Chain A
């Protein structure tokens, strides 16, 4: 139990601050999309990694704080992370094999 209760859950005010951060990250994502559309030098090879990075940040924030994964026992994290990593590895390998992802 000590492991589970080592961290205090956020307060409603902190939850609201997290939501504002998520909204801000979404605004940056949309801005990157329009930058890519309007500036020639800002190509997909520049914007795509940034967009993926922002999505990963939002993903981690929601899973960690809203789903409370960082406050749960490590067994829960292992189950959840295993499914996520297995799916990523499997489908990235499939998309590479079928030519949908190409390293330039």
Chain B
């Protein structure tokens, strides 16, 4: 395990800034993602409170996301994603401690919790569509599906990265130092997806 990572969780590979370029690059990428999700959240806030009844055929009511939310269900999903951040940080901690088996267990647990979250989102979308609200129903519905859908796509991509790390570790019997840094980078990405959901859960679901 001597070739994985130092006990303090950092590596010897430094660049001009004193920080590994890949790690700095990940932080800059995540910083830029605020602009991306900020646009989608603003888009939803702009359209969520508007009256679309004038655009509906006679006798047909407007189905807005707010009227269809299942808060207890989404609260459980939020809890699951929050706990996946715990398992992710435990995976990184296990790697720093040199425990490759425990690293794999926590990576798998994170991926599973992420999958549960995605499953919940698919269920929620299916429910909304069955009740008559699709992405083309009105601008508020469109903004909702765009925002939560792109977040879900980010979670899905994170799961793929976690599975890749798990597979590499399983096949090689452990992660090397370079691959160990990848765990840290995937962890940063995963936690970022979690903080974006913290914002979405509050602004989209809880605040009227």
Interface 1/0s, chain A 54-85, versus B by CB < 8 A? 11001100110011100011011001101110
Which one of B118-126, B148-156, B190-198 contacts A?
A: B190-198
Q: A33-B71, A48-B207 are in contact. Are A62 and B17 (CB under 8 A)?
A: no
Interface membership of B188, Cβ < 8 A: yes
A67 and B35 contacting across the interface, CB-CB below 8 Å? no
CB distance from B166 to the nearest CB of A (A): 19
User: Judging by beta carbons under 8 Å apart, are A100 and B46 in contact?
Assistant: yes
How many Å from the CB of B9 to the closest CB on chain A?
Answer: 6
Contact A15 B89, beta carbon cutoff 8 Å: yes
**Count of A residues near B, CB < 8 Å?**
52
**Chain B residues positioned under 8 Å from A62 (CB to CB):** 85, 191, 194-195, 198
Q: Are A51 and B38 in contact (CB under 8 A)?
A: no
- A25 shortest CB reach to chain B, Å: 9
In the assembled complex, the CB of A47 is this many whole angstroms from the nearest CB of chain B, namely 7
B42 and A83 within 8 A (CB)? no
Task: Say whether A15 contacts B90, CB under 8 Å.
Answer: yes
- CB <8 Å contact, A22 and B82: yes
- Stretch among B25-33, B55-63, B173-181 lining the A interface: B25-33
Give chain B residues whose Cβ lies under 8 Å from the Cβ of A16.
86
CB pair B28–A79 under 8 Å, yes or no, is: yes
Quick check: A91 and B38 within 8 Å, CB to CB?
yes
Partner of A19 from the list B24, B30, B41, B83 (CB cut-off 8 Å) is B83
Q: Please tell me if the beta carbons of A82 and B31 are within 8 angstroms of each other in the complex.
A: yes
Q: Is B160 in contact with chain A by the CB < 8 A criterion?
A: no
Residue of A nearest to B39 (CB): A91
- A83 contacts B32, CB within 8 Å? yes
Please state if B24 and A76 are interface contacts (CB–CB under 8 Å): yes
Shortest Cβ distance from residue B88 to the other chain A in the assembled complex, whole angstroms: 7
The answer to the question of A90 belonging to the interface, with a C-beta cut-off of 8 Å to chain B, is: yes
Q: Please give the residue numbers on chain B whose beta carbons come within 8 Å of chain A beta carbons, in ascending order.
A: 8-10, 17-19, 23-24, 27-28, 30-35, 37-39, 41-42, 45-46, 49, 71-72, 75, 78-79, 82-83, 85-86, 88-90, 93, 96, 187-188, 191-192, 194-195, 198-199, 201-203, 205-208
18 other A-B residue contacts (CB within 8 Å) besides A23-B79, A90-B38, A100-B42:
A4-B18, A12-B93, A19-B83, A23-B83, A26-B79, A30-B75, A34-B71, A51-B202, A55-B202, A55-B203, A59-B195, A59-B198, A66-B86, A75-B24, A86-B34, A87-B35, A87-B37, A100-B45
Interface residues of A (CB under 8 A from B): 1, 4-5, 9, 11-12, 15-16, 18-19, 22-23, 26, 29-30, 32-34, 36, 44, 47-48, 51-52, 54-55, 58-59, 62-63, 66-68, 72-73, 75-76, 79-80, 82-84, 86-88, 90-91, 94-95, 98, 100-101
Give 17 A-B contacts (CB < 8 Å), ordered by A residue. Answer: A12-B93, A15-B93, A19-B86, A26-B82, A44-B207, A44-B208, A52-B202, A54-B202, A59-B198, A62-B191, A66-B86, A66-B191, A76-B24, A76-B27, A83-B32, A84-B31, A91-B39
